[in-house]
Amino acid sequence: MIFRQKPLDLSLLRTTSLRQRLCRLNVQMQGLPPEPTQPVMAFLRTLPRLGAAHDLLAAAEATAQAALAHRGLIWLIDERAIDAGLSPLLVRLIHRGFIRTLALTGTAALLDYELAVNGAAREDLQPGLEDGLYGLTRETGEGMNGIINEGVKRGFGLGECLGRGILDRQPKHFQQSLMAACAARMVPCTVHLTLGVDGFHRHPLADGAMLGKGSLKDLQLLAGRIEGLNEGGLVVATHGSAALAEVFTNAFGAARNLGAEPAGFGVARLGKPVAPVADLPGQAAAWHVAGPLELIVPLFASAVFSFVE
């Protein structure tokens, strides 16, 4: 006799404490935002104007010009940038107006939330698989899903409601949160989930309808920012996520479908070879600076700051 397989009842899952979990990333490991001092500017002036050095300086100058002209600056970020200890630097870029729209993967949002709440993230995989508690921390599952369930019902996307939630609660390390920094400055922040990838998706409080609705709302919000790229805007990709590249491609396509025709914008790819953003209609320039994000992004930010100081 053939029986239909019953799904597991996730409401029965055990959870553990975020503060008891072994983590591989903490706030003491992160870098600090560079200051645009004379030595930095002098170093940048010594770089040759060719190859990766040319791309670094050209993309940084385009970023500075876009910010000064109030053009669109869309950054695509996955967990790699947070793993590289770049959150404080990225927060500074948000506060200075060099990130005007931020698109995150769900895992990046998870790490951002845990660093804000606990000062540590990236649990060790093996112990969590052995005891069945991998990804099931109470503080993360209850906190993120509680904020999402309430915020999405009120009409917010995932990025905005999580940023507002962190900002309202002000946990110990909230000033290092990208989502909170965006919420504080009214910078659109969108979170794009791949359902099933992160532990908070299977926490007993998780509501698939709210997760899906919030992520769809954020796709719509991202699409609404595409028109702002016109005449000097920039897309900065620091991610290795094929899914995030597809999200942006679909957002761009939706905007074009509804009449947006951005032209004269650039695309900058930073770091090791990443899932590329497709060649886009209206794209005027493209730059790629390969290398470890923990080195390339601080160099890039230093160059951006030097162009406006």
Summarised one tens digit per residue, pLDDT across range 272-303 is 756 667 689 999 999 999 999 999 999 999 99
| Distance between CA atoms of residues 35 and 48, nearest Å | 22
Identify the pLDDT of residue 56: 94
Question: What are the boundaries of each domain within the chain?
Answer: 58-308
- Whether the CB-CB separation of 110 and 144 falls below 8 Å is answered with yes
**Secondary-structure percent of the chain, ordered helix, strand, coil, rounded to 5:** 55, 15, 35
Query: What is the token pair recorded at 264?
Result: 């004269």
| Distance between CA atoms of residues 229 and 94, nearest Å | 17
- Per the DSSP assignment, residues forming a β-bridge with 101 are 74
The residue among 178, 209, 182, 201 whose CA lies nearest residue 115 is 178
33 has pLDDT over 70: no
Q: What's the number of CA atoms in the CB half-sphere (13 Å) around residue 272?
A: 8
Given pLDDT bands bounded at 50, 70 and 90, which one contains residue 110?
Answer: very high
169 has pLDDT over 80: yes
The residue among 14, 29, 199 whose CA lies nearest residue 120 is 29
The residue among 24, 71, 78 whose CA lies nearest residue 246 is 78
- Whether the CB-CB separation of 164 and 148 falls below 8 Å is answered with no
Identify the pLDDT of residue 167: 96
The residue among 153, 166, 165, 216 whose CA lies nearest residue 190 is 216
Return the number of other C-beta atoms located less than 10 Å from residue 99's C-beta.
25
Quick one: 288 exposed, middle or buried, by C-beta within 10 A (0-12, 13-18, 19+)?
middle
Identify the pLDDT of residue 40: 76
9 has pLDDT over 90: no
Q: Which DSSP symbol is given to 10?
A: G
Given pLDDT bands bounded at 50, 70 and 90, which one contains residue 36?
Answer: low
Average the pLDDT over 196-225 and give the result. 93
Q: Which fold has domain 58-308?
A: Rossmann fold (3.40.50)
Q: What are the b/e assignments for 132-155, b being 16+ CB within 10 Å? A: ebbbbbbbbbebbbebbbebbeee
- Per the DSSP assignment, residues forming a β-bridge with 295 are none
The pLDDT mean for the chain works out to 88
Query: What is the token pair recorded at 74?
Result: 């869309």
pTM greater than 0.85 (yes/no): yes
